[in-house]
Structure 1
Amino acid sequence: MWQDKWLPIVLITLLGLLQYRLWFGKNSIPDYLSREQEVKTQAQQNANLAQRNALLNADITDLKVGLEAIEERARNELGLIKQGETFYRILPPETK
């Protein structure tokens, strides 16, 4: 009688162990889903950094090519005023 039932019992036990490993073990489905989310987050960060790098490369090219970019930067960051120019400073209205 036991000789007929040992194979299904062993197979069901193996199936249970494999299911446990699939859902709760190392490299399980929840691990895969969390890694997939991490990959999406990292891909977004990489895209942002690539866009920033493109802007920096454009800035570098502008600075290498012409003096207009250097002059613009000096005006914005250092407050450059050429001789013969009049500087006007517009202040926002005071709030009470």
Structure 2
Amino acid sequence: MRTLTLILLALLGTLQYHLWWGKNGLGEYHEAAANVSRQLEDNQRLADRNALLYRDIEDLNNGLAAVEELARNDLGMIKPGETFYRLLLSQDKP
């Protein structure tokens, strides 16, 4: 009976070792779970960015207002007859 108990304890110890530190143990499980959650966050951020890009493409395809806004903001274009004023903030703050 004593040998059976020792054998069962050794088997239990071996199983516990494999559970905690062995291949595919809890450490690797938690690392994989962290990688999955990080990848899901990255995927969500990229999906949001893609949705924004699709909306911009739709605006550019459907109307001239978005093209005009893009030309004004990014290229600094103005319409004929318009006056462009640029206000600069002073570097000295009281």
% identical aligned pairs: 52
Q: Are 2:50 and 1:53 equivalent residues in the alignment? A: yes
Gaps of 5+ in 1: none
Aligned to 1:90: 87
Determine the C-alpha separation between the residues in 1 that align with 2:35 and 2:10. 34
**Cα RMSD (Å) of the superposition?**
1.3
How does the TM-score come out when normalised to structure 1?
Answer: 0.89
The code of the aligned residue for 1:40 comes to S
In structure 1, how many angstroms separate the alpha carbons of the residues matched to 2:91 and 2:34? Answer: 48
**Structure 2 gap segments, 5+ residues each:** none
Give the whole-Å Cα distance in 1 for the aligned partners of 2:56 and 2:92.
Answer: 38
Take 1:7 and 1:33, find their aligned partners in 2: how far apart are those partners?
34
Looking at CA atoms only, which structure, 1 or 2, has the larger radius of gyration?
1
Q: Cα offset for 1:31?
A: 1.3
Provide the aligned length of Structure 1 versus Structure 2: 93
Query: Structure 1 residue runs of 4+, over 3 Å off?
Result: none
TM-score, normalised relative to structure 2: 0.91
- What's the offset of the Cα at 1:52? 0.5
Map residues 52-71 of structure 1 onto 2, 5 A cutoff.
52-71=49-68
